[in-house]
Structure 1
Amino acid sequence: MIIGIPKEIKTLESRVSMTPGAVETLTRRGHTVLVESGAGKGSGLPDEQYAAAGAKLTDAAGAWGAEMVIKVKEPIAAEYQYLRKGLLLFTYLHLAADKPLTEVLLKSGTIGIAYETVQLPGGGLPLLLPMSEVAGRMAPQVGAHHLEKSEGGRGLLLGGVPGVPQASVVILGAGVVGTNAAKIAMGMGAQVTVLDVNHSRLQYLDDIYQGRIVTVSSNEPNIRKAVTYADLLIGAVLITGAKAPRLVTRDMIGTMKEGSVIVDVAVDQGGCVETIKATTHAAPTYLVDGVVHYGVANMPGAVPRTSTYALCNQTLPYAMKLAQKGVEALHEDRSLALGLNTYLGELTYGAVGEAFGMPSTTVEKVLGLA
């Protein structure tokens, strides 16, 4: 198969979808890999390393002209021109928060396989996992920075000092993002509260941290109370492939302390805070009622070296299956098949259809597995 690795062009997005080592693995199996010149520069991976691994260096049009394109982030408007019927696109899509992209993928007939909806039999999300770990660990350090007075925050040190209380960190969600956020926030010395609807997750966190964090059942009254004392509020809620639920309403924002900070990691799925909107690394924050809102939708892009390797470790096995067998790989791998979001003009992920009131079908029907 001819595989394209284009350069990411989203604002300050420095990750790349495949490392030179991954490219070598693919080329040794007889595949042709077209890498856009400069694609790996932001991750410290120069063109020379890709060439030595067997890649052919090209321009954006060349990389997008491949049979399968492997990316990190969803295509943005400048890349819509490259989408076409039969193109196999393997990347994060987050369609439930992006109607224009959904419509373009359907109109173009692109076969879109989303990293974030590839799902293991036990419910695990192997291709979302590494970036959730990175984003979760970044959230407290990003929040701590924006709590500084010069960044618009309350002027608090997250861990406090002897004789001065530490800051209060409230985390909505005890999944991968929330658990990693709790680990780092606690390590920085903050007072940490985690809310979730899943009691077993709260039990797990209570056990491993031996009561050093506060666990609270997630419901509207408890969320409403928690936001009033939060110095840093971290949104870490996920419903696979669907728009994130709005847990923090507009009126709740008015009850938060001036200079407190919100970091909504769920923003790439629409966010769990009503007042959140997607921002960029170039302009990451804005104020609503004196509360600092951080809504960067590609947080791991700030640490591209770590993120590129973490992501590629997980995506490469699936990329190899697709390179070897194309769409036929979906017939053999149920987990990979669940990643299919668009197929030759049909929407194949129900949660996206529900988000936009669009008709959808099933993976089984379009692949002839029903």
Structure 2
Amino acid sequence: MSERFDILFEGLPEEKALELLRTNPEELSNPVEKYTAATRLAACRSDRSLEGLIEAIELDPENLFNRITRRKVLEALGRRRDPRALPALFTALGFDDEASVINAVDSIAQIGAPLSNHQSEQLLSALNGSDNQKRSVIQTHARLGIASGEQAIAALERDDNPLVAGAARAYAAKVHGQFDQLAPLIPQLTDSIAGRRRAAVIDLGDAGDVSVLPHLVTCPVSMPLRAKSAFQLVDPQKSGTVPIAHSDLIIQLLQDDPSMLSLQHDWICSEEIAEIEKNLQHRDEGKQYGGALSVIKMPKGQQLDTIDHIHSRFWSDYGVNYLLTAVVGLQGLQERSDLVRTALAETLPQYAKSRVAAAWSCLRLGLKDQVEPLMQIQQTTSWLPLKWSCEQVLKGL
């Protein structure tokens, strides 16, 4: 789980979380608390909490709650980014629970420490699994720059599953400089299947070729996913700065105008409110953006009525919240500027992308009364797309 959700669990004391982690789930009135404890310990920093997480890898997986907790523990150890967890994570590569193996592989990548030859061999052997596991293992080779997997991974560049092939091509580009391998990923950015588009965005971010940025920016997947890959490309050292040569494209991405995205015609619905509501809540972001574009194309009076109706029914839906906030700014709707102020003030982590939309809407609407909140967000947020957005908006206001 992303660091931005830590606020949801910070009320659970570390000592209590450790106690829950060690308790038999059959003795708990609410066994869900056991894996909630693992998530809480991901945000702790003490040696005791790290040791508790490492010990929990040995939980008996026959019990469902233990099995889920073990998965959360393996994920949490990646969040801790402590190399002392590596031996336990490599032990987990031998588990027969695919989700646990994938979480262990992902955590090895997150820790980012150099691997021994033996550990590299262990990691490569984990290619012998499901397609999801193959993809995770290949991604970890790319992110850690492990050159020794070249032969085995090259054999997967033409795999029938584009999610496996795409990861293999990203590895070839990132680790072995074979940037010509990325060509098939560009059309995948406009695939009709959302999962393939998302995978292509991730793979292009991993590949490290900034020349693909114009294609990535217009891909109809979630803004945070595109932003993560885009910042990987333009700011690989995580300095928090964007080179001038790329700033216009990053601004375009963060302002997220649906009319600038590569939308398929059948993703754009009619102007009937029921159809727009259906699109805005669709799981495919292409459909969501199609619904937002239908609102953008309306005459202003109809536009305001539609926004009011959707706001009254779906404002708590964080996807709808984000798109409405963006549309208000993109269309310069001063009459609904209060929606922007409300979105900017929202602190729950699931609304973080709405704050990005609200920041840019403040600039478009000239909301100088929001300078102080923007400054506070810029100083306190650790999420780079939001921090950088606030910096740019403050310069403009």
Between Structure 1 and Structure 2, which shows a larger proportion of strand residues?
A: 1
Q: Relative CO higher for 1 or 2, CA cutoff 8 Å, sep ≥ 6?
A: 1
TM-score, scaled relative to structure 2: 0.25
Larger radius of gyration: 2
Between Structure 1 and Structure 2, which shows a larger proportion of helix residues?
A: 2
TM-score, scaled relative to structure 1: 0.27
